[in-house]
Structure formats: C-alpha cells, structure tokens
Amino acid sequence: MFDFLEGYDLLGAFWVTVKLTIFSAIGSLVLGTVLAAMRVSPVPLMRTFGMVYVNVVRNIPLTVIIVFSSLGLADVFGMTLGAADDFEVKYFRLAVFGLAAYTAAFVCEAVRSGINTVPVGQAEAARAIGLSFTQVLSHVVLPQAFRSVVGPLTNVLIALTKNTTVAAAIGVAEAALVMKEMIENEAQLVLISAIFAFGFVVLTLPTGLILGWVGKRVAVKR
C-alpha cells in the first residue's frame, strides 16, 4: 500500500517546511513587534504607517503576495535577495520574505492586544521615573505584553506553518510541492493527501500543546 513512497524525499520536504516556518516566524516576530510599537507610539506618522501596513497586507491574499514576490519583485524589478543565480535559494528567500511580511500584520495585532492588557498605571509609573518612550516599551510594557499573548501568537504560528504550503506556488520544494509531484506520478489522490495532512498535524499539534502549556506558565496573574 505504501510502497509508492519510495523515491520521494518526504522528510526532506517537511524539513523545508520547518525551515520556512522558523525563518518566517523569526522575521514576522521582529517586524510585527516593530509595527506594534509604531502603532502605539506618540508619533502620528508612525501610527498611520503601522495602521496602513496592517490593514493593507492583512487584506491581500497570501498567494498574491508570494506570487508577486516572485514575478514582480524578482523577475521585473530584479530583487534577488543575494541569490541571483541559485534559484533554489532565491525562491526560498523570496518565500520567507513574503510569508514574514504577511504574518507580521497578524503578529502586530496580537502584540498590540497584549499591550492593551498592561494597566495604564504601569506605563505612567515608568514615565514618572523618567524613562523615555522606547525604554517604557522595552523594559516595562512589552515584557508583560508578550507574556499574555503566547496563546494568540501560537495561533498565528500554526497558521503560518500551514501557510508555508503556498510557497509551492513559486517552486519552493516544500511538502505541498512534493505532494503535487506524487499525485501527478502515482494517481493516488486520497491516500497521498491523507499522508500530507497527517504530516502537518504532526508538526502543528505538538506546537499547540507545548506553547499552550508555556502560555499558562508565563501568563501574568492579575
């Protein structure tokens, strides 16, 4: 029943999925946090930029963003992210770029909701002892904010894991692309789909369980 699996590098494909997820998660966490800081900053221009970015990027389908990274940014404007002649690396980086840019909008909103859970008194007290806006944010508000948004961020991370399959649209050799190849060759649609669905459950279920436990541990008891 499973003898057709020979000749396919399933583990390698899922490893690419994992790599895509990790790099995009780091990128989106950094960018999303910066965006959240912009959205609560005292500078109107920054606030506007953060708001526009989130509302625009959040409402564009991910497929459009990824395909545009490849066809628009790379083919038309020649943005190759330092890998002009190595397609495998180039498209992987473009996919990470697209996924991180897209996921950042969701991370930003999650972090901002966390900032709103921090009592105003905390920020006022921090201001009162003479900390600047950046210091208030980095020393007082954000550490507490992050502790309360582990749950929402876990949801974003699980969504991101599954969203990496969109990278197949620009030829990154992750799980969804190998699945397409197998269906093309083996004519076993249902079985192959089930195998890959299971593969993603193996990736996301532990993520959810572990981070759920972490979230409970670090939550601020108010």
Partner 1 sequence: MKLRKVTAASATVLALALSATACGSDSGKESGSGDGGDKITIGIKYDQPGLGLKTPDGFTGFDVDVATYVAKELGYAEDDIEFKETKSADRETALARGDVDFIAATYSITDERKQKVDFAGPYLLAHQDLLIRADDNVSKGDDLNGKKLCSVTGSTSAQNVKAKFAPDAQLQQVGTYSECLNGLQSGAVDALTTDDSILAGYASQEQYKGKFKLAGLKLSNENYGIGVKKGDKEMVDKINAALEKMVQDKSWDKAVKDNFGPANYKNEPAPKIGNIVK
- Contacts with partner 1 by CB under 8 A lie at 4, 67, 70-71, 74-76, 85-88, 91, 168-171, 177-181, 183-187, 189-190
Closest CA to 169 of 22, 20, 23, 43: 20
Cα(170)–Cα(99) distance, integer angstroms: 12
When the beta carbons of 111 and 178 are compared against partner 1, the nearer one is 178
**In contact, 200 and 161? CB cutoff 8 Å:** yes
When the beta carbons of 34 and 67 are compared against partner 1, the nearer one is 67
Q: Is the dihedral of CA 112, 66, 48, 126 positive or negative?
A: positive
Q: Strand, helix or coil at 6?
A: coil
Beta-carbon count within 10 A of 188 CB: 14
Min separation Cβ 187 and partner 1, Å: 5
Q: Where are the alpha helices (DSSP H) in 80-130?
A: 87-117, 120-128
Copy the structure tokens of residue 199. 């593969």
Cα(150)–Cα(169) distance, integer angstroms: 30
Residue 86 DSSP one-character state: -
When the beta carbons of 33 and 70 are compared against partner 1, the nearer one is 70
Closest CA to 199 of 167, 162, 172, 157: 162
Min separation Cβ 6 and partner 1, Å: 13
When the beta carbons of 89 and 211 are compared against partner 1, the nearer one is 89
When the beta carbons of 14 and 91 are compared against partner 1, the nearer one is 91
Q: Is the dihedral of CA 104, 105, 110, 114 positive or negative?
A: positive
Cα(222)–Cα(170) distance, integer angstroms: 47
Min separation Cβ 66 and partner 1, Å: 10
When the beta carbons of 120 and 190 are compared against partner 1, the nearer one is 190
Min separation Cβ 119 and partner 1, Å: 34
Min separation Cβ 177 and partner 1, Å: 6
Min separation Cβ 222 and partner 1, Å: 35
